Amino acid sequence: MKLFICAISIFIISCTPLHDIYKIQSDRRIKKTEDLNFTGEKALTQWWYYDCVFEDGSVLVILFTPYKWWDETVNFPANKSLFYLSYMKTNGEVVTNQKTIDVSEIIYSNESIKSPYFEIIRTHEKQNRNYTVNFYLDSINGSVKIKGDEKAFSPFPRGSMSATITQLFKKNAKGLAYRYSAHVTEGIVQCKIELKKKVIELSGKTYHEQGWFTGRPDQMGDGWVWFHFVSKSMNVFGTAGKFFCLEKNGKCIIGGLEKKCSFSEMTYSGTQKNLLIGGKLIFNSKKLSFKVSPNGKISNTLISLPSVDTDQLWGTVLQESGIEYTSKKNVLNEAGVMFIETCIMSEGGNKINSNRPNKKK
């Protein structure tokens, strides 16, 4: 049966332009992958990620990993979970809090993920995806309420790749399965933050994705550069040289596998030479083209997860940018911001992950 489904999937993909995978995706099927993320076995490499761009220009990024991928002080991480939050004020100042939590303190259910320091709650209604993220950290507390009513997106037609299919694309991933989807491509967010005894109420746009990979992080490949650009009417996200999704006014224009979307004129951090802190994102086709260019301001670091292994790196910066979007109908120029995430992997630094327990909660 699995081979039959695999054959059908390959046939469907072969009949569909790779950059139009979104047209054949079942939203119901992708929702099922989220059910598995909440209630199924937790993978060695798994994450919940949110970014929010508020109307006042401030930004919030939230990351949760059931297993911490690596540690900044020792060669092997313990059995810990990681919750990471970064809030950039309107003046560019970044407030960052992270909590390393014993895996035994995390409680999973079909509706939520709970710990003493945060909660992720989902209350979906028909086509709407609703999330609440509450956080209780050392210097910042708050609540984020998210509503998404658009169809989810995945570079995989069914929102996942079985171990059989994964090994066709990833040379070190034999016998490993992979799920990855943007469950909220562009949603509405309402947020209340308490910082230094001051309550800040915010609203704006948000993005949310979940990933699940049964292998070590380095078995996903050598690393990646992921991006998310958002402006008044445009929303573009993906991994350079792999896939991307472009939406205009809430409608998906193109979404799927695409190698032509790439960075040029790249700038790297002086202290972490592999950390991309700026660049120009370009895509050209007969149907449309776009160019996302920095406006010259210094990028703000939102996530920085150092490792004792200098070949490992995971960081996210925010670049103030502008997009030039050209289609057969018009040319659009808008100012916005772009999140750029760099992840560099090292096999040696992650081998210890294979010894972690992977028991169903």
- CA atoms of 193 and 87, how far apart (whole Å): 9
What pLDDT digit, counting tens, does each position of 312-337 carry? Answer: 778 999 999 999 999 988 999 999 99
- CA atoms of 126 and 314, how far apart (whole Å): 36
Residue percentage of the chain with pLDDT more than 70: 82
One-letter identity of residue 240 = A
Q: What pLDDT is recorded for position 350?
A: 39
Mean pLDDT of 161-169: 67
Sign for the pseudo-dihedral over CA of 210, 214, 215, 216:
positive
Domain boundaries, given as residue ranges, for the chain: 17-354
Q: What is the mean pLDDT of the chain?
A: 86
Residue percentage of the chain with pLDDT more than 90: 63
Q: What pLDDT is recorded for position 288?
A: 94
Mean pLDDT of 36-54: 95
- CA atoms of 299 and 143, how far apart (whole Å): 26
Mean pLDDT of 37-48: 94
The region, left, alpha or beta by phi > 0 then psi within -120 to 50, assigned to residue 208 is beta
Q: What pLDDT is recorded for position 4?
A: 36
For 17-354, which CATH superfamily applies? AttH-like domain (2.40.370.10)
Q: What pLDDT is recorded for position 2?
A: 38
Of the candidates 235, 261, 258, the one whose C-alpha atom is nearest the C-alpha of residue 337 is: 235
What pLDDT digit, counting tens, does each position of 223-240 carry? Answer: 889 999 999 999 999 999
Non-local CB neighbours of 178 within 8 Å, separated by 6+ positions: 156, 160, 161, 166, 212, 213, 214, 220
Confidence of residue 20 (pLDDT cuts 50, 70, 90): confident
> Residues 304, 323: contact at Cβ < 8 Å?
no
Alpha helices, H only, 124-244: 163-169
**For residue 310, pLDDT beyond 60:** yes
Of the candidates 166, 109, 76, 65, the one whose C-alpha atom is nearest the C-alpha of residue 356 is: 76
Mean pLDDT of 61-68: 95
Radius of gyration of the chain, Cα coordinates, nearest whole angstrom: 19
Q: What pLDDT is recorded for position 272?
A: 62
What pLDDT digit, counting tens, does each position of 259-274 carry? Answer: 899 999 999 886 666 7
pLDDT higher at 8 or 169:
169
| Strand 140-148 with 160-161, pairing | unpaired
Number of residues assigned to the chain = 361
Mean pLDDT of 22-29: 90
Mean pLDDT of 242-269: 93
